[in-house]
């Protein structure tokens, strides 16, 4: 599988994850208790699979290559769009974690609101972000990068994936999402 196709495939797992978080938030609104440990598992998935693993490949490989080879349009798309949104996602996860901590110390409506708003905000951001990557950034890269550069992206992606497999990343998080989303 080429590097760009793999990124698109990983988006399926990330979208399933955002749907799962949305269900958790709907449950809270309907009166279910806040499940701090489950929400912390969501943060772990977001940080380690969606961000470190998936966004790591984008930032260290594909986006780097686009910035090196595709000029000012790619520079604007990547620096002012994709990377800004990656940082905003990290902020949502950090704020979600703070909200969970606050809720566990002082359960109440306001910390619940902060949990819901950051979880939903993170999911909505990722959904729009994925639409832009699949529909614009990746197609732009596939169309404009030379075949040799795309092959280099594929090789770097495979090396990244190999190390992640050795570390158990894909197995852990892809199993987690399958078990949670059922």
Burial of 127 (0-12, 13-18, 19+ CB in 10 A): middle
Does the model's pTM come out above 0.75?
yes
In tens, the pLDDT along 75-92 reads 999 999 999 999 999 999
In tens, the pLDDT along 141-163 reads 999 999 999 999 999 999 999 99
Is pLDDT above 80 for 43?
yes
Counting Cα atoms < 13 Å in the Cβ hemisphere of 23 gives 11
pLDDT of residue 1: 72
């Amino acid at each position: 599988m080429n590097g760009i196709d793999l990124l698109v495939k990983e988006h399926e797992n990330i979208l399933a994850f955002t749907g799962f978080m949305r269900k958790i938030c709907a449950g809270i609104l309907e009166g279910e208790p806040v499940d701090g440990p489950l929400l912390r598992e969501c943060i772990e998935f977001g940080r380690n699979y969606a961000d470190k693993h998936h966004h790591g490949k984008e930032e260290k490989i594909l986006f780097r290559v686009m910035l090196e080879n595709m000029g000012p349009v790619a520079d604007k798309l990547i620096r002012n769009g994709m990377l800004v949104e990656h940082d905003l996602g990290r902020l949502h996860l950090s704020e979600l974690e703070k909200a969970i901590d606050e809720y566990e110390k002082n359960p109440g409506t306001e910390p619940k609101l902060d949990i819901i708003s950051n979880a939903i905000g993170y999911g909505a951001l990722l959904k729009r972000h994925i639409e832009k990557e699949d529909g614009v950034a990746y197609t732009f890269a596939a169309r404009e990068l030379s075949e040799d550069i795309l092959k280099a992206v594929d090789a770097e992606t495979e090396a990244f994936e190999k190390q992640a497999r050795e570390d158990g990343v894909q197995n852990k998080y892809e199993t987690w999402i399958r078990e949670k989303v059922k």
